[in-house]
Structure 1
Amino acid sequence: MPYSVSPQPDPCSDNPLIELRGISMQFGRNRVLNNIDFTLYPGEAVAIIGPSGTGKSTILRIIAGLLAPSAGEIYVRGERRLGLIEDGPDRLGVGMVFQQAALFDSLTVSENVGFLLYQHSRLSNRAIRERVQEALAMVGLPDVGDLYPAELSGGMRKRVSFARAVMSNPDDLSERPSLLLYDEPTAGLDPIASTVIEDLIRDIHQGRGCSSYLIVTHQESTIRRTADRVVFMHQGQIQWTGPVDEIDHTDNPFIRQFFSAQVQGPIHVAG
């Protein structure tokens, strides 16, 4: 029986890519998210910012389908998602870059980047190696395929994780990432390494048509260099959203305190 691929949705559609409606998340007595509404459109580059512990990374995991909310509804390209990503087919290909890169220490760089294809595609090993080499060249690391993660710097490991995140299975076009999620991609990096990562995020985004991305970050340079729109969260709720160039002009007290690093204001830090 010949292999066929179901028609894929237009990646450049004006319809929302993701909609969160009334999303809440509670762990025991701790409510991390409180009735969140959020919409992401194809081609958007959005930074989710705010103090630690406000639910930013939790939103990423809910959108990725790795975590089910306690309440609310999730819509992917207009269709409601039920359960987790592993529970059934999903119309959203997601690539995720974790804060610590999350590479397999016992595998080479090439084996890490090609892991999806080795596990789920029908490509030959040679074809996979060619795709891996292209991905590594895209992130500026064409000669590290035979090394192990422990032999790389922190910034290089981040870039390897980017190469892995954009890999797709040609046997299943639905797995091609139309959304990339970055959780603190520049955390712990020096300013020069951070700039390299920030430029790479933009380059990947611009080179992938109408793909979108969400980035959780605390670093001001990353916010300003990678985002078009900013969502500010505090105490499990969205307190402000707007274009990145408005963060210098808005009177919103949360934004003013966050970017001025003042102790006084609506954001209370435990001593």
Structure 2
Amino acid sequence: MAFVELVGLTKQFGPLAVVNKVDLSIEKGHLVCLLGPSGCGKTTTLRLIAGFIEPSGGEIRVGGKRLSAPGASAPPEARNMSMIFQSYALWPHMTVFENVAYGLRLRKMSRDEIRSRVDEILAATKLSMLAERYPAELSGGQQQRVSLARALVIKPETLLLDEPLSNLDANLREEMRFEIRRLHDEYRYTTVYVTHDQSEAMTTADTIVVMNQGIIEQAGSPEDIYQRPRSEFVARFIGGTNIFKGRHVGEDVVACEGGLTLRCGSGEFATGGATAVSVRHHDIILSSEKPAVEANCIAGMVTRQIYLGSHRDYLVSIPGGETVRTVAPVNVAIPAGQQVWLHFPPEHCRALAH
């Protein structure tokens, strides 16, 4: 049985359903990322789990016990959960040790047990040498570690994180993604992590739940979400992709707008109906010479080429007004205005029926 269960979970503000009949099961010890753009309902879902707001419909169960339902929700302090916010919310007048120990003191634990638990979590989060410093004396990454330590030290059943890395610069964000995953692997708390950053989700999650307009578009492993998107929204949101609109014309073939015909190695086809095809930027083969294969190929004109160090980024205009984005090795340097050929390997073309 799942440890955290959302059953028909709904939250309305007036006529608007911000979270709309969401069903989700989270196994004990798993880290689940709620991923999506601003306004998709992910933070509202997290706040519903935390008990900060009450659902308009459905229910939340944790460990088989119902914690939330319309008119009958347990308060946040009765849920044995810790939540980490975008802001670190550290007490500025307390040292690192005192900030981390605060929740244990509220629980009236003995001085020796507090010392033991705090020392253990400070060591795990690499903060032992900073125990007597104040928050103003710490870097952003160190403050975020204190916030994590404070949440973990009380040994919650469920850990909730709301965009915890949004205030860090790019390098620190990358470092802390791996740190969060390392700590999760060490302590195995059931964790729900909200982010709009696909790299954070891919790095940290056991399961990614992609949300859009209050509903779950798709849930699965990072590899499943990236390699096997089920909708145009998921394909566009997770990783760079080209979407070609067309119609399924038989077996695994889609006739796309502009004269491009693509044979697809995977996906879901709408028989005789509108179908889109997703092809990732890095899966397209760009060449200045016509490929030997005929299928899944088309000629185009380079409209932009940008050197990015590890690769070159191309925009190629093809017949029908479509523009294709692709990447190529740095040694493939084709100037704007030159004709090129694009090959879309069938095994990398995924049909999207909706």
When normalised by structure 2's length, the TM-score is 0.63
Could you tell me how far apart the structure 2 residues matched to 1:224 and 1:26 are? 30
% same residue: 38
The 4+ residue runs of structure 1 with deviation greater than 3 A are 82-85, 87-90, 260-265
Correspondence for 1:48:
34
* Residue 5 (structure 1) aligns with: none
Q: Which position in structure 2 is the counterpart of 1:220?
A: 198
- The counterpart of 1:250, out of the listed 228, 232, 253, is 228
How many angstroms does 1:36 deviate by? 0.9
> 1:84 Cα deviation (Å)?
4.0
Q: Distance in 2 between matches of 1:245 and 1:230?
A: 10
- The aligned runs of 1:16-35 (5 Å cut-off) are 16-35=2-21
Partners of 1:204 and 1:29 lie apart in 2 by 41
Q: Secondary structure at the match of 1:122?
A: coil
Give the superposition deviation at 1:233: 0.6
| Structure 1 contact 25–33 (Cα < 8 Å) conserved | yes
**Inter-partner Cα distance in structure 2 for 1:98 and 1:117:** 19
Q: Does residue 231 of structure 1 match 2:231?
A: no
Contact preservation (8 Å) 2:32, 2:191: yes
Q: Alpha-carbon deviations, 1:75-94, whole Å to 9, x = none?
A: 1112222544438854xx32
User: Which of 71, 74, 86 lines up with 2:57 in the alignment?
Assistant: 71
Relative contact order (alpha carbons < 8 A, sep ≥ 6): 1 or 2 greater?
1
Query: In structure 2, what is the equivalent of residue 111 of structure 1?
Result: 98
Which structure would you say has the larger Rg? Answer: 2
Instruction: Give the conservation status (yes or no) of the 8 Å contact 2:141–2:168.
Output: yes
Per the alignment, do residues 141 and 213 of structure 1 end up closer, same or farther by CA in structure 2, a change over 3 Å counting?
same
Contact 2:35/2:198 (CA < 8 Å) preserved in 1?
Answer: no
1:217 aligned partner, one-letter code: T
Counterpart position of 1:152: 138
RMSD: 2.4
CA deviation digits over 1:120-148, x for unaligned, max 9? 22312x54234222212211111222222
Alpha-carbon distance between aligned partners in 1 of 2:53 and 2:242, rounded to the nearest angstrom: 33
Given that residues 52 and 76 in structure 2 are in contact (C-alpha distance below 8 angstroms), is that contact kept between their aligned partners in structure 1? no
| Cα distance between partner residues in 2 of 1:62 and 1:263 | 35
Aligned residues between the structures: 241
Q: Which amino acid aligns with 1:119?
A: L
* Matched position secondary structure for 1:26: strand
Q: Deviations over 1:41-92 (max 9, x none)?
A: 11222111011011111111211222211111111112222544438854xx
CA distance in structure 1 between the aligned counterparts of 2:34 and 2:165, rounded to whole angstroms: 14
In structure 2, C-alpha distance between the alignment counterparts of 1:192 and 1:19, rounded to whole Å: 35
Contact 2:92 2:134 in 1 (8 A): yes
Once the two structures are TM-superposed, the CA of residue 201 in structure 1 deviates from its matched residue by: 1.4
Alignment of 1:194 with 2:181, yes or no, is: no
Partner AA of 1:38 in structure 2:
L
Structure showing the higher helix proportion among its residues:
1
Counting strand residues as a fraction of each chain, which structure ranks higher? 2
Matched residue, 2:67:
81
- Give 1:258's aligned amino acid: F
TM-aligned CA deviation for residue 29 of structure 1: 4.2
Q: Determine the structure 1 residue equivalent to 2:328.
A: none
- Residues 89 and 96 (structure 1), Cα distance of their counterparts in 2 relative to 1, 3 Å cut: closer
